[in-house]
Structure 1
Amino acid sequence: MLDRLATYFRDMSITTRTAIMLSALIGLIFAVSGLIAYQDSEQRTREAGLATLDHYARQVARHQEERFSRIRKTHVHATELFRAQFALGAPVTGPGAFDAMFPRDRRGGRRSAPALYDGGSTPLGYMRGVGAFIAHEPDGAERRRLMAATGIVHALGEGVRSDLESLYYFTPDNSLVIFAADRPDRLRFYRRDAPSSLDFQQQEFATIATPRANPGRTMRCTALRHIMHDRSGGTWTTGCMTPVDIGGRHVGTWGTSVLLDTLIEPGEFSDVPRAGVILISHEGRLIHHPDYTKQRRVGPEAMLDLTTTRDPRLAALWAFVQAQRDGRFLGEAPTLDSFVAMRTIDTPGWYALVVQDEAVMRSESYRLILRVTLTAIACLVLQALTILLLLRRQVGTPLRRLIARTRALTRRVPPARHVDVERIAVRDEVTQLTHDFDVMAERIGSAQSELERRVAGRTEALHRANQQLKLNATRDSLTGIPNHRTFGAEVEARMASRNPEGHYLILFDIDHFHRINADHGEGTGDRALTRVANGIASLLREGDLYGRVGGDEFAAFIRAACPAEAMNVAERVRVGLFGLETPGRYGEMIRLNASVGVTGAAPGDSFDAVLARAGIALDRAKRGGRDRATYHAARASQPAGRLNATA
């Protein structure tokens, strides 16, 4: 088979063989270039994606820490008020106040009066949103503590109502007073439905407050649990408890519940495709997982114990968390098939993980290599046809004429002894000439080889010259992205062909760039410019225009539904650039960041006018402290001149 192909290749005309070989060589060059571009793009995409995940992991940890810090401060305040009331030694209210607020229930024990939740006057003043369940008849001291706790949960609960879903106090004797004015169930379970035999002392929220389980007497948080009042088992919550001791005796516990739905705000990571937040306690309990912890999903609480789970995904997750002893990680986790940013939440002792499917982060590189491949194939086909036509016109046609003339001369001369007349009819023009006339064939063959070499050389030189001229005319010589003139022309063309409204110009300026040139040399500055240009190109969306418009200024022209969306794009690029670094004069890494100005295009605008407004926004960003993005709206009286922005 190979011998037949080799013979067929040798029998081709010289122009066809040359076109095939040149096309194969250029195709190999395209393949190598595409592989290098793919590897570079994958690395840059990975770095930018990890920077985004780490940003969101820090954001999750900070938000959760703030939430639990508020809970802890509220509990501490409640304890201080509670102890202060008993330090006075005076009764909380007059006789009969306790019976009025907590009347006896016919099933046993006591419940809160309707006015405590519905709103009304009580011995402690106006009150609402409070429910209570008292399992046993309390003694005098316990009555005073329950009355004091009722006043405190109402007063503090109203104060933190916008931040905390509930505030409650419960005792080791199964008495509970709770403020939760906004809960849909209106605390019906505790006020009416709970049987007098209700015992919650073995529940986790009660056991973690006992002196034995919590000798430090600090706030502790439970794992994800069914809420006690929901017998359907479909409402999941976690809670934080702070024990209260008076005179060395455990008399009660302050508590606050956090529903599963409120742990992570819906849509918080909508701009990061296929990313999710996982919360895990240090004991190995799953607190939040986008696939496993869903409100209204009925299931046993034991399924969330990662230390005993049989689910391979959850087992791999717990093994990964255990391997990170310091609670911090940023990179690829092969066992989870994901990229992970991990942080710790100190107050509840949780781990916060932001995970993203590795296929999503690599998809941008795949799209790039696909575009490069399609472009390369189109270029290969076009250049193969061009070379074939050019060689046939410049080489094939003259050779065929020469062959006809040589054959005419050959007929007049007797054939030489070494010429095989039977092999004269071949497609190779040189072979034909050789067999027609040996000496003439040698000379023609030499001339033909020289001609082919010159034609190929001139063709390649012409191609390179045309490419270089085109590149010099449209591209920035340092960064390779569109230069000021080309970028301005593309923006003008887009505004002329479409409605300018809904388009926005984003102007980027590297902060303190003059210091990089002054301290580390222009070579370092050039590398910084190239990295920023590549970073902007990789972080923009498909279809966005971008280019270099000044010494250390870059611009992008995008389409957005509103200024907020345009600012989101600018912020995403600015945050992505924040992670870029470039080596300095002595090998140290210089972190790069940029100030950003954003403005919208308006009907009748020119490129210079839009650029001038973006410059005003950029100046504001620099005056406001740099490394930020500001927006400047279009005005009818805006001058068309460009304002200078200091570096």
Structure 2
Amino acid sequence: MGTDTAKASHAAERDTGTSIAWTMLAVILLTSLVVSGSGVILAALAFRTDLENQQLVQLEDYASERGRRNGALFDTVQRAHATTIERFENRIDALSDAEIEAQFNALFPLREDGTRRSRDDLFDGYHDSLGNHHFGVGAYFNPADGWSAADRRRLVSAYQVIDSAGQSLTGLVDNIYFFTFDNELVISAAGREDRLAFYRQDATADFDLNAADFVELVTPELNPARDFVCGELTQLIYVRDGQSLTTGCFTPYDQAGAPVGAFGTTIQLNAYFEAAMADPPPHGENLLIDQFGNLIAHPDLIHDRVTEGLIDAIYARYDLTRIIDTLAAEPESRSTGTLISEDGRWVIAFSRMAGPDWLSISLVDRSILLREVASRMVIILVLGVLGVVLQAILAYTILFRRVVRPLAALTRHFGTARPKPARENPALDDVLNNTNEIGTLARTLEDQRRSSEQTFDQLEARVAERTRELEDANRAKSVFLANMSHEIRTPLNGILGLAQALRTSSKSRRNQEQARMIEESGTTLTQLLNDLLDMSKIEAGKMELALQPTEPVALLENMQTLFEGAAAAKQLTLSLDLDPALPPQLLVDPLRLGQCVSNLVSNAIKFTPAGSVRVRASWKPQATRAGVLEIAVADTGIGIAEDKLQTLFAPFSQADALTSSRFGGTGLGLSIARDLARLMGGDITASSEPGKGSEFILTLAAQATAEAQVRLPDRSPDELAKDPVYASLRDRRILLVEDNFINREVARAFLKPLNVTIVEAENGQAALDTLSQQAFDMVLMDVRMPVMDGLEATRRLRESGADWSEIPVAALTANASEQEADACFDAGMDSFASKPLKPAILFDAMRRACERRPYQPV
């Protein structure tokens, strides 16, 4: 009787389960056929439209970016002119008449022919009293009525800003110059092969600069609006005859309402046209057209000799005349966009270039785009049909066998008031042994039943365990920072070392300049790494300042140059207003001061969608040489509500969640900047009005230095090797123990001028083996290495009792902490040099090791 009842029960369960499964399967099938099928068709049609629109958007974005890139050179020149004019006007009244007279006669001596021309060393190069290097400048003056005091002041000021602008624009443009309608010219062009010899030496006394064609471009008659203008742009490509293509761009300069002259720059167009035509969109080509509809550039015109027949063939290939007419019908207010040609063959993506007033155009074959859309639609339809079929096939297995039946068994068992152990229920054997989510659920329910009585004891144990984990995490923090310092400093050593070696060994000025830029970037990265490691010092109140004489004007001008690109990308005006009373040098920590100002300027640009960012610096003296430096950063951005101002300086805080999601950022910058400002004896305050902008004011106590300090540049390995201080290091046999190949190359490059013999080992064990076989004068030992580290190798070396156990050992390590230095000395090392290495640091460490432990190899 019991058996019959059980069978009936199981049969009912199967019927119930099957009924549920088939009901759900029928619903899914019906839904798939009606909803999914219709959805696939609609999705495919929508996908076709979206894909075609997406292609057009991508092409428009491409054209916009291409136009921005093509116009970037002219924008750079225009911004450079504007910045130079601003600095020129700031400096023109800064010097006294006596200083102007002295500098005018010194810079531009009077020649026998009555002209004044620049000294040769203004081009060849000289160092001023502050150690700054000046070069690449030439000048020619021969006005009809001589030089008034105002003329002299204007020309001396012009030299100063042209000299400064020429240095900063090296590598970007060929030159920058200032000329007047009184036949006066000051030009910076360090890269000119003729070394400006014509203006400095060869030009005769009857040379008239006003006879040049470009002078007319900046006269009030031809340029009444006094706009930035470039000459001879429209037909340049037609006159190409194997010669270098150039054009001049000019910004007229008026003083007191009267035209004086202009600032100008010569632009090389050969490479410009090649870059403008490069990287076309798939199945398309790039070209340039001027405002009159003339073809300026096309890939076929770059490397082939231009003829009328070649140009006519290009017009015919694209039916370019009708394309130009289509573009001409577009309003000038539309700066970028996409169009379809009249015959439907071409997709036209265009972007207007404001500087030269050109159109940057990309033509793409529309038929290829449509074929790509159609092929993707077929894939979507096929996948949709397959999806409907797969839903029907998989539904039964997934719903009935894997879901309905196991869940029913679990419900019957664990639904009772006091369920027995699951292992005692044969119906759950298969469920408990399953590895899927339902099996995990069954085992979890059983575990919960068994463990409920032990819950309180386990919670208490977990609290104690979490407390220990937090303590371990705090200890791991220090270990992590130390490891991170080592791992980052090791490749930094290679970067800086090889850059220094390249700078000192290369005879190419360009290579030397590039190596210097790599070295400066690596040094900046090293400083940022030090900042990261110092964060814990700020929290513990142990941060120390590194005060040194610093030029505030140079620091702020460098800051302006650093952020000009970011501001220009958002079409913002970034201006710098300097108090004439600013001391030439202040005793401050330049790294921390720069960190604070960078944070404020970066935030101002970030939160200003349009308008300007203004940086104002002033000096408020309080006592002899002492005073308060005040730097205000004001913007026309989104502003901050009054009730949010107080939370800005709290760590990990921003004005509100919307600001965080829109602009990003961690909210740490202002907190760290205020902490640093207060450490420097000042503070940061903020005022703002929503929708109208904000102003942040940084103040800090500072001391003006008694006189300008000249910072000596780092000496090269060749210079150090000639210094008698390091004579004892020459002609030595050195064992270099370093696992990093690049760091070994750096050490070899630094030590080459000492004429030393270097033998390499990649770990501590290899070093000990080598020392037992060969004689050396000293060992350069890296600290962290595989197999055996430098500390263990040095301990074994000292304990060996061998003839070489007293050899000098200099430690090389990427960990710059005091604890690391103590560990090196405790292991028996004689000196300590931290990475990234510099030649002087390495030479000093070797000298100290040899002096501390005199040794003669056996």
Indicate the TM-score class for this superposition, using the shorter chain for normalisation: 0.3 to 0.5
- RCO (CA 8 Å, sep 6+): is it higher in 1 or 2? 1
TM-score (normalizing by structure 2):
0.33
Larger helix proportion of the pair: 2
TM-score (normalizing by structure 1):
0.42
